[in-house]
């Protein structure tokens, strides 16, 4: 089975621009979660989607948004980029509902640099 | 505010040593606790714990949860250089939130 894939792997943007990151979960997985990882803050939960619905959202501003398609692929969008948005963005998929204690499988991440 | 604390934050041991990593938490509506190993990029799953007192074991790694005292430990016996990584503890709540701890950076030297 192919693992979680994320595209692009690396991205450089300038302040004020917007960016869209993509995540394809493991085949058959219906839940996709997004995380931001920075040296200072560690790994932080952004949001989770299940069956095209946002299940929960972490403490991030409204500039961070996402969506999930009927094939479970998910996209994350960050608008009006700030320098502090530079981070590794990780996506994780799991077979079932978020609250049902399913194991999550992480993708390789997208390294975003904002200049 | 929900939080997950890990200790120590950093650890250096020699090959063959046994290490114990700690994770304590304060969250509302605890659902499960997860341990991950992160080497270079993406975390890889180690254990998921939902019940107190039941040890989960995988090779040289084992973990146990104490829901009364709100903590978990991850043990690694006979450490090898390949165990060098950041070990992350995360707690999932019933409201589908996942809170990660800061991680413990383990370095195993030959």
- Residue of A68, A87, A60 whose CA lies nearest to A29: A68
Mean pLDDT confidence for B77-100: 90
Q: Which residues in chain A have their CB less than 8 angstroms from residue B42's CB?
A: 4, 90, 106-109
Q: Can you read off the two tokens belonging to residue B17?
A: 């040593």
| Cβ distance of B42 and A43 shorter than 8 Å | no
CB contact under 8 A, B98 and A45: yes
Largest CA distance in chain B: 44
Query: What does the pLDDT average to over B34-53?
Result: 89
Please give the share of chain B, as a percent, with pLDDT higher than 70: 99
The pLDDT score that the predictor gives to residue A40 is 80
- Residue reference for tokens 């993406």: B42
pLDDT value for B1: 82
pLDDT score, position B40: 78
Collapsing DSSP to helix, strand or coil, B79 comes out as coil
- By CB atoms closer than 10 A (0-12, 13-18, 19+), residue A89 is buried
The whole-angstrom separation of Cα A9 and Cα B93 is 30
What is the phi-psi region of residue A83: left when phi exceeds 0, alpha when psi lies from -120 to 50, beta otherwise? alpha
Contact A42 B101 (CB under 8 A): yes
B interface test, pick of A9, A99, A111 with most B CB neighbours within 10 Å: A99
Instruction: Flag the least confident range among A83-92, B29-38, B76-85, B92-101.
Output: B92-101
The sign of the torsion formed by the CA atoms of B37, B98, A45, B71 equals negative
Q: Quote the minimal CA–CA distance from A82 to chain B in Å.
A: 23
Q: Please report the pLDDT score of residue A75 as a whole number.
A: 98
How confident is residue B79, by pLDDT bands cut at 50, 70 and 90? Answer: very high
Using the predicted structure, report yes or no on whether residue B30 has a pLDDT greater than 80: yes
Choose among A46, A29, A5: nearest CA to A102.
Answer: A29
3-state SS assignment for residue B83: helix
Write out chain B residues lying below 8 Å of A58, CB-based.
Answer: 97
pLDDT > 70? residue B52: yes
| Cα within 13 Å of Cα(B17), Cβ side | 16
Positions in chain A short of pLDDT 50: none
What local confidence, expressed as pLDDT, does residue A110 receive? Answer: 96
Rounded to the nearest angstrom, the minimum Cα separation between B36 and chain A is 10
- For chain B, the average pLDDT equals 93
pLDDT of A1 reads 64
Contact B42 A90 (CB under 8 A): yes
Chain B CB contacts of A55 under 8 Å are 96
**Is there a contact between A43 and B88 if contact means CB atoms under 8 Å apart?**
yes
């Amino acid at each position: 089975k192919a693992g979680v894939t994320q595209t692009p792997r690396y991205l450089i943007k300038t302040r004020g621009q917007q960016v869209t990151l993509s995540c394809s979960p493991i085949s058959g997985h219906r839940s996709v979660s997004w995380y931001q990882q920075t040296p200072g803050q560690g790994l932080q939960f952004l949001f989770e989607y299940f069956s095209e619905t946002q299940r929960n959202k972490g403490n991030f501003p409204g500039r961070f948004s996402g969506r999930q398609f009927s094939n479970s692929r998910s996209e994350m969008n960050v608008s009006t980029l700030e320098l502090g948005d530079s981070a590794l963005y990780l996506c994780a998929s799991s077979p079932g509902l978020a609250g049902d204690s399913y194991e999550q499988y992480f993708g390789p991440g997208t390294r975003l640099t904002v200049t | 505010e929900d939080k997950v604390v890990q200790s120590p934050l950093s650890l250096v041991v020699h090959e063959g040593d046994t290490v114990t990593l700690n994770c304590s938490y304060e969250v509302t509506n605890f659902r499960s606790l997860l341990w991950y190993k992160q080497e270079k990029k993406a975390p890889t799953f180690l254990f998921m714990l939902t019940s107190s007192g039941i040890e989960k074991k995988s090779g040289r790694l084992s973990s146990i949860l104490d829901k009364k005292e709100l903590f978990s430990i991850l043990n690694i016996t006979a450490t090898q250089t390949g165990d060098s990584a950041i070990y992350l503890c995360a707690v999932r709540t019933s409201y589908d939130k996942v809170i990660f701890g800061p991680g413990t950076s383990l370095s195993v030297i030959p």
